[in-house]
Chains A and B, each alone.
Chain A
Amino acid sequence: GAVVSQHPSRVICKSGTSVKIECRSLDFQATTMFWYRQFPKQSLMLMATSNEGSKATYEQGVEKDKFLINHASLTLSTLTVTSAHPEDSSFYICSARDGGQGSAFFGQGTRLTVV
């Protein structure tokens, strides 16, 4: 099946710094990618929809200036957590659809810890 690669898998950063997470579709082109956040023992919540070549669409309650999304190519979307705080510590997962198959595939996820 289609493969989505996410990097890094784990990152620890200091409060006030920024962290960039990459999401790549390895064997298909993805005009749309999705970014989710998962708190411990909870379900995934959609943060934003990343559209290649245009602005991302953010879900209600998600700060677009804090969670910057760039989808510069058909195989790469990045999520940058700016001025990170401990409450941003979470598991972030991206997904992309392989349009031909119609199903969504997920990256391995990134465990962000802000200290």
Chain B
Amino acid sequence: GEDVEQSLFLSVREGDSSVINCTYTDSSSTYLYWYKQEPGAGLQLLTYIFSNMDMKQDQRLTVLLNKKDKHLSLRIADTQTGDSAIYFCAEESNTGKLIFGQGTTLQVKP
């Protein structure tokens, strides 16, 4: 079956790097996504990676994909207080639907 797992909580100091990890089970996933959700708001697409890529960098965000281990990570460089939110990873099944992890709450301390 399809399953996505994330750690639930991460706390970092402002200026440090944050690394949020995610594992998934569906080896046929085509795209893997990272979304950000601020309190009471919808989901904001941060970045995505195609399954045949190992890495994708977009400004402060770096996504690493280890397809063999089915492991995905999101690194946020120079984390700011405005980065405090819940981060969801998601895999896209071959039917187009997304399977989400439980979400990782990122707390950024000044």
Residues of A near any B CB (own CB < 8 A): 1, 6, 32, 34, 42-46, 49, 93, 95, 97, 102-109, 111
Contacts and interface: CB of A to CB of B under 8 A. Distances in A.
Interface residues of B, number: 23
Interface of B: 30-31, 33, 35, 40-45, 48, 50, 88, 92, 95-103
B45 A102 contact: no
A105 B102 contact: no
A44 B76 CA distance: 23
Describe B's contact surface by its main secondary structure.
Answer: strand
A104 B88 contact: no
Given A106-B35, A107-B42, A111-B40, A49 B96 contact: yes
B82 to A, nearest CB: 18
A109 B48 contact: no
B103 A106 contact: no
Nearest to A97: B96
Describe A's contact surface by its main secondary structure.
Answer: strand
The 8 closest A-B CB pairs, nearest first, are A109-B42, A108-B42, A106-B43, A43-B100, A43-B102, A44-B100, A103-B48, A106-B42
B97 A43 contact: no
Candidate in B42, B45, B48 with the most chain A CB atoms within 10 angstroms: B42
B57 to A, nearest CB: 17
Given A43-B100, A93-B43, 12 more contacts: A1-B45, A34-B98, A42-B102, A43-B101, A44-B43, A46-B97, A46-B98, A95-B43, A103-B31, A103-B45, A106-B44, A106-B45
